Amino acid sequence: MQYRPRDRARIIRLGDRTMIARGLRRQFWADLSHRSMTASWPAFICGAAVIFAIFNAIFATLYWLGDFLGERPIANTAANSFLSYLYFSIETLSTAGYGDMHPQTNYGHLVATVELFTGIFSMSLMTGLIFARFSRPNARLIFARHPLIGNHDGNRTLMIRFANARHNAITNATARLWMLSDVTTAEGRDFRRFTELPLMSGESPVFALSWTIFHVIDANSPLHGFGPDAMEEADISFLLQVAGFDESAGQTVRARRAYTYSDVRYEHRYVDIFDKDESGLAVMDYSRLHDIAKE
């Protein structure tokens, strides 16, 4: 990798934090696969359409130039008609081949052969990219908007609630919670520290509905002694990661959510989202997942 001060800056968003990266020379073609996988669907489709149009324009131009060799390279096309050659290029590149237009000179066969190879290669590549984008495992989890710090089971506790929006079984689910804070070393250097917060129960055999994780803020907790002002001064944020095996997809799925110190609510509890209907069946109300109440 090459670093140049004049290279264009890039905006990077990591959770709740936004920063600008400079000095890295961005190589578009060297990381095309990653860009294809991370681009949004509209950008991916528009990019594929633009590349398809460029390829067809190039080959249509090559067919059109064949007219100046003395013989028309493609049969049943109008003389010097770029549009006819463009249509033939689209049929050839997409391997449709309707048959009314076909190569009739050695030059036409040569260009069509190259275009057929390009079409087969590009269609195979596009098929693989689309399959990879559709088959990527992901978990549809809904995270509560606010972490809470309050009393739970007689202890000062940090709580975060989340739910499975698909209602499918995620087995061997695990949750891990990190605290990110600005610290100054003994040498006077500032850096961002990641500290994992131990959870009362960071594993669930089957996660299908909702789950609330708890971190006890005792004397051994990294959060011990931190109030709202201290959290703001240290610019504390939290990163929650959840992973498990999705039995429906047969793959491991992951999800994450970041919170800042300003998202934390003190002396609150989560409103109960479970109830019973008239027949006595349990009801889970997802609309109340974010609701909190004073203790």
Hey, what are 170's tokens? 């995620």
Would you place residue 281 in the very low, low, confident or very high pLDDT band (cuts 50, 70, 90)? confident
Average pLDDT over the chain, rounded to whole?
A: 87
Q: For the ranges 9-13, 53-57, 115-119, 252-256, which has the lowest average pLDDT?
A: 9-13
**CATH fit for domain 141-294, picks 2.40.100.20, 3.30.70.360, 2.60.40.1400, 3.40.190.80:** 2.60.40.1400
Distance CA 202, CA 224 (A): 20
Q: At 269, phi and psi to the nearest 5?
A: -135, 160
Q: pLDDT tens, 55-84?
A: 999 999 999 998 887 788 999 888 778 999
pLDDT at 3: 43
Domain edges within the chain: 39-135, 141-294
pLDDT at 277: 81
Q: pLDDT tens, 19-61?
A: 677 766 666 666 777 788 888 889 999 999 999 999 999 999 9
Q: Are 178 and 197 in contact (CB under 8 A)?
A: yes
Task: Name the residue with higher pLDDT: 117 or 139.
Answer: 117
CATH code for the structural domain at 39-135: 1.10.287.70
Residue 293 identity (one-letter amino acid): A
pLDDT at 14: 61
pLDDT at 71: 81
Q: pLDDT tens, 119-166?
A: 999 999 999 999 888 887 777 899 999 999 999 999 999 999 999 988
Residue with tokens 């509560």: 144
Task: Name the residue with higher pLDDT: 223 or 183.
Answer: 223
Would you place residue 167 in the very low, low, confident or very high pLDDT band (cuts 50, 70, 90)? confident
Would you place residue 12 in the very low, low, confident or very high pLDDT band (cuts 50, 70, 90)? low
Residue 170, pLDDT above cutoff 60: yes
- The number of helices, as runs of H, and strands, as runs of E, in the chain is 5, 16
Q: What is the mean pLDDT of residues 182-194?
A: 85
| Residue 229 burial (C-beta neighbours within 10 Å; 0-12, 13-18, 19+) | exposed
pLDDT at 213: 96
CA neighbor of 175 nearest in space, from 150, 197, 145: 197
